[in-house]
Amino acid sequence: MNIFRLAGDMTHLFSVLVLLLKIHTIKSCAGISLKTQELYAIVFATRYLDIFTNYISLYNTIMKLIFLGSSFSIVWYMRRHKIVRRSYDKDQDTFRHYFLMLPCLILALIINEKFTFREVMWTFSLYLEAVAILPQLVLLQRTRNIDNLTGQYVFLLGAYRAFYILNWIYRYFTEEHFVHWITWISGLVQTLLYADFFYYYFQSWKNNVKLELPA
């Protein structure tokens, strides 16, 4: 494991913790897209199918359990918790997220490294993760008042993707046989989706004003 991978995993972990902190302590999920959270739950469920059959390291297993547990509990909070769900911006969060899943599944059936159930599911999770942030970005754009925690959540997610790209560059030069087009291209697409957000995030930080995305 290199420093970029670790930094990527940690920013990913912090993003989830920030979100859970917001939901659990403030009892609010205002500004958070349930559509994006449901997509992440599906992403982790389909990617970690091998969690108990393919052991890599204790670190990997624990992190997988954290991401699975946190993503499903966030969805539970937003759908079922009697206080939290009242703060959900249902009318603003209208992205038709199920329509993202079908193209990702078809693409995974066509473009994969091996045509097996596990491999297709794993590829599907990569494609879906690449676009899963879209409902959240649309919601951010509609929300006039982006609170700090929501802004930090999306920033940390974007940072996680950026670190993963550095990790792949590092691994490409330090390891043999490390060419994974599917992972790289879907990862790059995913990171580029954050470019616009990053621009406005740094602008607001530099000028010390509240984050607001242009409509």
Partner 1 sequence: TKDQVAKDEL
Instruction: Please state, in angstroms and as integers, the Cα–Cα distance from residue 159 to each residue in 18, 114, 153, 181, following that order.
Output: 14, 30, 10, 21
Least Å distance, CB 177 to partner 1, is 6
- The Cα 199–Cα 202 span in angstroms is 5
Least Å distance, CB 180 to partner 1, is 5
Least Å distance, CB 73 to partner 1, is 18
Nearer to partner 1 by Cβ, of 152 and 183: the residue is 183
Q: Is the CA virtual torsion 186, 214, 10, 87 positive or negative?
A: negative
- Cβ contacts of 194 within 8 Å, gap of 6 or more: 133, 154, 157, 158, 161, 162
Identify whether the C-beta of residue 37 lies closer than 8 Å to the C-beta of residue 95: no
Least Å distance, CB 198 to partner 1, is 22
Q: Please state the φ and ψ torsions of residue 8, each to the nearest 5 degrees.
A: -65, -50
Nearer to partner 1 by Cβ, of 30 and 156: the residue is 156
Least Å distance, CB 96 to partner 1, is 28
Q: Which residues bind partner 1 (CB under 8 A)?
A: 5, 9, 12, 50, 54, 56-57, 60, 63-64, 67, 113, 122, 164, 167, 175, 177-178, 180, 183
Identify whether the C-beta of residue 42 lies closer than 8 Å to the C-beta of residue 97: no
Nearer to partner 1 by Cβ, of 59 and 199: the residue is 59
Nearer to partner 1 by Cβ, of 12 and 97: the residue is 12
Nearer to partner 1 by Cβ, of 63 and 75: the residue is 63
What token pair was written down for 171?
């691994």
Nearer to partner 1 by Cβ, of 185 and 204: the residue is 185
- The Cα 138–Cα 140 span in angstroms is 5
Least Å distance, CB 109 to partner 1, is 18
Residue appearing with tokens 């596990």:
118
